Amino acid sequence: MSPVIPASWSESTLSERHIRILDAAERVFARAGFHAATMQDVAAEAGMSPGNLYRYFSSKDAIIAGMSERDRSLIAEDFGSLHPQNGALLDQLEALGRKHLVEQPREKAVICLQIWAEAARNPEMASMCADLDGTVMQGLAAAIAEAKANGELPERLDEHRFLLAVSMMADGYFCRRGMDPAFDDRFAAETLFDAMRLLAQTMLLPEAKA
């Protein structure tokens, strides 16, 4: 068994055992943190022996890499499916926002905070975060360009600033949800989506001079 999930793998191609281990690791890391958690903890959560766990993942770093790649593959699939035939772009973005920000368990946000903290001092983790962000931005940039071309979004929309603003709001949402158990995630999500729609109409490039 490969100790690290290949970059071409997605949720649909993972074995049942890999999925079980990754799900168990997410629960353990959310409870104890990356550094305090051990491979033995993950093995116990997954219902297997430590020796068997090492057949699938050689270390905690390999598990974290597997978690990150699984998330990247799922996000790439979702944002790659943005298309005018599926409805208005902002409606599609709101649906994806609900899926990834609201419908996921709070533990996802807790783990995200840990990953960002680790990325501040771990170049490999920082690279994984950059790859994930790049996957999202690539899918969004293509969809926004098409929406501008077909008249759904303003032609002068400053898509660079728009994408930066929306991504920072989403990151802030994750931070608040991860650190505050009383956070009203539904109300905050509605606020974020309303702000996204407003920015899409008002964050414009200067008019070209005659």
DSSP string for residues in 158-179: -HHHHHHHHHHHHHHHHHHHHH
Residue pLDDT, tens place only, 10-64? 455 578 999 999 999 999 999 999 999 999 999 999 999 999 999 999 999 899 9
pLDDT mean over 166-171: 95
pLDDT of amino acid 208:
77
**What domains can you pick out in the chain, each with its CATH number?**
1-67 (1.10.10.60), 81-204 (1.10.357)
What does R_g of the chain's alpha carbons equal in angstroms?
Answer: 19
The pTM assigned to this predicted structure is 0.85
